[in-house]
Chains A and B, each alone.
Chain A
């Protein structure tokens, strides 16, 4: 079941230096229940913009985006109830304890008390947050903060979870813990969109990936598909090769061919999964 459908999504910003900056240039992908879909790309590739559109924080310039079958522009309220968004930019409040913060968001999601508190207890136990539940945000370490953010995103048990560079700045221990949480969520049948620029994470976590560069998807598919297609088993090499190709000036004809190939790959991947 396609929980996230992105079709021909474009996003442009007015930009003082370049006039108009195309952050996203016609990207399309789908993500299904029970899979981790990775968005892999260097910094500034447009991953965050795409995920912000999924989270209804930004409006698409054109194209359609459906999350849990709700349209992000016309049914934003429903979309926000169906997602949990953890991003580098979604910080936690300094002057609020972990418990208070999760409680606050739970109430915003209109959870009744008899559902909210048992769920909070469960999440706090599962994420091992009990020892710092009354600690104010300002005194927490980066790892603790990230855990609180995840708890905040999980409180309403959404079907779709979006992690945007969630492992940034985490030490090995916490990053590992995050990965196990993500895998756990996938096993529960959630649809997870996971953006990162770290190769190892992709290899460990993602069922399928899209490689994003300069607002475009260079290639998409399972890791096996990608290495077959590019005849490269080392994923880091593959990534680097794709990016270098993306930098070369291309004729419109090339772009068109690329795109057709990409679409074909997408369809093939879809068929394979279904």
Chain B
């Protein structure tokens, strides 16, 4: 890699972007103008809001206890405009308020008999409009005698925001009135008024106000930062890739001495530079404006808001600024990869939303109350970085330092993966030089059929994976209501495994490829491979169990899930072992392997995409397990299975591994619920621990070592030249004129 090329390209691109007025406006001018303007609008709206009054109509006020009036004057100090409806009002003549009922949610129940007996809610709504009130209050006859005998009927329409506000204000008012009423009654008796006083609290808060502010900001700002880092990265990225393709300048650069890798790095640095600038400018502008606006509010008496959103301490600002770098780096690389995929700037714009949707959950996660920096959260990209910056702002340096290696590694790894993707895009002729599609839909379908190969394409594989996930989502939802019994477990396992995992893969393999066997990578394995993989399944299980345990400790299962799993194990304990193994170990192993290490893997490992195949199938395999904890452990297991399947050339060995692994897990789980002890001859490996079967620590250590040896053995064995070999998208040696002769 020639860094002087990277530097030259970087300098040129930055200069080019700086000369582009549109980019400069979005990136530099807009943030400086946006927040002051937004602040101005907010001030206006706040004023408007304060001046708003709600009107409450009261019918039958003459029945109100006269010694304790509800309304002081016509316009209340609490924004309430009272409206007394005279008793002789024609509108209310003959209306019985008890006949007015809230309409029933038609989505929940639709019983026509209820509606008929009531006064139509439309009539009541018309009444509200006629008296020009947001809420009507009916005071029943004889209310002054007993305020508890009959309820006051309050008719509102919660569809209107003013009506919502009116109800709130009315409730407060009635509450206050009631307290005073009680006080008056008590003061005239012997008990005295002190009895109704609530216990007094003197609150001492140890948090410094500016630190509390920092935490509030640290929840809001990462989100703002994400949006702007992505926007700041996205527009230059589109201009630098799709835009250059459109203008024809990319080819000029491609035939220059700069290599594709160098071009990508040069462009990436440019995009990152603008992304960071945009995010920083936005941060600064938003922070300054908010501080100024808040200080205005403090003059107006809104102390709470000022203490929550006032200016940040300088060092907290520093940590936030530091956070910009990993977020920008990650999204710049992603934006560049996505932008290089686009043929034109117009096509590029379409990709912004999906990218934003990927990024959103990652910044939303730290906003959930109670999510803190921990080994579990630190491995989530972006989330880990956000949580770490919060820990740093909070002054917990030791804690942050502890997770620094994980967060940094994850961030760098993600960036490198995205960069690798971008470079691959630049090296791919299909992506760089593809024209807009000329053919019609029917022609395309005919062609897909005619051009079928032995194995699916990468796109078909990814589509299959997504199809499986969607099927699983709806399948699990519809099967969710079933009672937990062995019959229902068998039924749902069959439906899910055969119908939602195996069927999409098999159908796609039949329709889209010439050879189903090759498409699902079914092959005759070498006996030695089977032996090694079989032993590996046994030796790796203790380590895997320990890992699953650790994951379970880190990400606690909900109480409901835990109790369901317990029930599950109990049910399994009551049925024959062979049927449990058959239904829950063999069937899922075959279906999942045929789908994930078979059809999905076959398409994804084309064109030297082994790493891509391992990563994507592992993630999809993980996601196909419904529970988060299982998703994590299954993803890791997916990585291993993917690697095994590359080393052994197909799915046979991974099916074996999967069957054995599932069987051992099931046996361990059900044996403990059956209450049986481990057989004496297994004493060296198993022990009973509080009624649960567990591995002895000796066997745990020993097995890990053996597993390592087996993995090394498998890694050094000559690879099988089987279906695993990636086929090129089109044959290397095109049969030309000469081969005819």
Chain A interface (Cβ < 8 Å from any Cβ of B): 8, 10, 12-14, 16-20, 22, 25-26, 52, 55-59, 61-62, 77, 80-81, 83, 85, 87-96, 104-105, 107-110, 149, 152, 216, 252, 255-256, 259
Contact = CB atoms under 8 A, between A and B. Distances in A.
Contact of B249 (A88, A91, A216): A91
A55 B250 CA distance: 13
Contacts of A110: 4, 257
B179 interface: no
B530 to A, nearest CB: 37
Q: Main SS of chain A's interface residues?
A: mixed
B354 interface: no
A155 B498 CA distance: 65
Q: Which 7 A-B pairs have the closest CB atoms?
A: A91-B248, A17-B439, A26-B736, A90-B252, A95-B19, A252-B740, A55-B255
Given A59-B429, A77-B259, 6 more contacts: A10-B736, A89-B248, A91-B247, A93-B16, A96-B12, A256-B740
Interface in B433-454: 433, 437-439, 443-444, 447, 450-451
A81 B439 CA distance: 39
B16 A95 contact: yes
A8 B683 CA distance: 71
A259 B256 contact: no
A14 B252 contact: no
Contact of A104 (B12, B729, B734): B12
B361 to A, nearest CB: 35
B194 interface: no
B8 A104 contact: yes
A96 B19 CA distance: 9
Contacts of A92: 249, 252
A255 B252 contact: no
Contacts of B740: 252, 255-256
A144 B515 CA distance: 57
A16 B256 contact: no
B453 to A, nearest CB: 11
Contacts of B433: 58
B716 interface: no
B251 interface: yes
B478 interface: no
B690 interface: no
Contact of A109 (B247, B257, B438): B257
Interface string B364-376: 0000000000000
Contact of B257 (A8, A61, A108): A108
A152 B252 contact: yes
B455 interface: no
B203 interface: no
A97 to B, nearest CB: 10
B451 A19 contact: yes
B734 A61 contact: yes
B609 to A, nearest CB: 16
A68 B443 CA distance: 43
Nearest to A216: B737
B447 A17 contact: yes
A17 B443 contact: yes
B429 A255 contact: no
A128 to B, nearest CB: 22
A181 to B, nearest CB: 19
A196 to B, nearest CB: 19
